[in-house]
């Protein structure tokens, strides 16, 4: 792992809609090969931050550099080049219902490359194999379970071997076993394929299982209240909210 190399640099980012400001003056970096987790309470703007990072929303102030290029100001071919370096898994999977899983994973290849069909099919099958779904490649998204849809969405996000993979709540709504398998998959992607992952999640178990580094967003102060290794934060950080978030299982044991 190349710890020194910065893949994403966020500088003085202020985001909001109209006159409503959600977060002010955020500064952080994501380094190559790490699993970077964005934490925060419901409504704190985690998904909004993710959408800024993948260029769906334009920042009110500040900038986001992906591989050194400014997402919001890039246009045309340059923007396309940046987009090709990122893969995104949306909260609900967002698979196209009219295509089979293979068709869904093949789509980015069809759009961006001039590979022969046979090659695209082979790559798509291999990506589905990576997430353990190769045998379901002929199925339509509506015919498989929610957890499988999320895994298929990860396969689609990886189709072009992006440098950075963004995952929006990958384990939300899954049972603990499926969720743990997904966490293992995420770890494996980072370790064996050297991908950088930016993950939004609430799941306490997932955070400790996957995160190399976390940032925690706070709705009240509209800023980052904690940054670092989640285990270290849990043991040393004295911000009451951070402690409560990361130690929920200990402090709020209802049976006690």
Binding site for other proteins (CB under 8 A): 67-69, 78, 81-82, 85, 97-98, 109, 112-116, 118-119, 122-123, 125-130, 134-139, 141-142, 158, 160-161, 163, 192-194
Q: What are φ and ψ of residue 150, in 5° steps?
A: -65, -40
Name the residue among 150, 117, 116 with its Cα closest to residue 133.
Answer: 150
Q: Which is nearer to other proteins, 94 or 204 (CB)?
A: 94
CB neighbourhood size of 192 (10 A): 9
Q: Which is nearer to other proteins, 61 or 111 (CB)?
A: 111
Compute CA distances 23 → 51, 59, 222, 244, whole Å: 13, 10, 4, 21
Q: What is the DSSP letter of 80?
A: H
Q: Which is nearer to other proteins, 12 or 68 (CB)?
A: 68
CA 68/CA 216 separation, integer angstroms: 24
Q: Which is nearer to other proteins, 185 or 204 (CB)?
A: 185
Tabulate helix, strand, coil % of the chain (nearest 5): 40, 25, 35
Do 65 and 11 form a contact (C-beta atoms < 8 A)?
yes
Q: What are the structure tokens assigned to 76, written together?
A: 């045309």
How many residues belong to the chain? 256
Q: Which is nearer to other proteins, 143 or 250 (CB)?
A: 143
CA 183/CA 185 separation, integer angstroms: 5
Classify burial at 226, counting beta carbons within 10 Å of its beta carbon; exposed 0-12, middle 13-18, buried 19 or more. Answer: buried
Q: How far is the CB of 50 from other proteins (least distance, A)?
A: 22
Q: What are φ and ψ of residue 52, in 5° steps?
A: -70, -40
Q: Which is nearer to other proteins, 47 or 85 (CB)?
A: 85
Q: How far is the CB of 208 from other proteins (least distance, A)?
A: 25
Q: How far is the CB of 57 from other proteins (least distance, A)?
A: 22
Q: Which is nearer to other proteins, 24 or 181 (CB)?
A: 181
Q: How far is the CB of 45 from other proteins (least distance, A)?
A: 25
Q: How far is the CB of 232 from other proteins (least distance, A)?
A: 30
Q: How far is the CB of 12 from other proteins (least distance, A)?
A: 23
Q: How far is the CB of 157 from other proteins (least distance, A)?
A: 12
């Amino acid at each position: 792992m190349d710890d020194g190399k910065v893949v994403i640099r966020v500088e003085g980012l202020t985001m909001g809609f109209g006159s409503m400001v959600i977060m002010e003056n955020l500064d952080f970096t994501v380094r190559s090969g790490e699993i970077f987790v964005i934490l925060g309470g419901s409504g704190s703007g985690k998904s909004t931050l993710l959408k800024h990072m993948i260029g769906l929303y334009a920042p009110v102030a500040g900038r986001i550099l992906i591989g050194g290029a400014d997402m919001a100001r890039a246009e045309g071919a340059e923007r396309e080049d940046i987009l090709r370096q990122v893969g995104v898994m949306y909260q609900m999977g967002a698979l196209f219902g009219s295509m089979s899983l293979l068709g869904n994973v093949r789509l980015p290849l069809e759009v961006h490359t001039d590979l022969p069909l046979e090659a695209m099919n082979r790559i798509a099958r291999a990506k589905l194999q990576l997430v353990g779904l190769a045998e379901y490649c002929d199925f339509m998204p509506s015919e498989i379970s929610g957890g499988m849809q999320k895994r298929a969405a990860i396969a689609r996000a990886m189709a072009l071997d992006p440098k950075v993979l963004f995952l929006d709540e990958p384990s939300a709504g899954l049972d603990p076993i499926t969720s743990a398998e997904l966490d293992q998959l995420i770890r494996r992607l980072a370790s064996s394929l050297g991908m950088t992952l930016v993950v939004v999640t609430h799941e306490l178990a997932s955070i400790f299982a996957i995160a190399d580094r976390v940032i925690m967003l706070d709705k009240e102060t509209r800023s980052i209240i904690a940054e670092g290794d989640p285990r270290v934060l849990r043991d040393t950080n004295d911000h009451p909210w951070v402690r409560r978030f990361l130690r929920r299982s200990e402090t709020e044991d209802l049976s006690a």
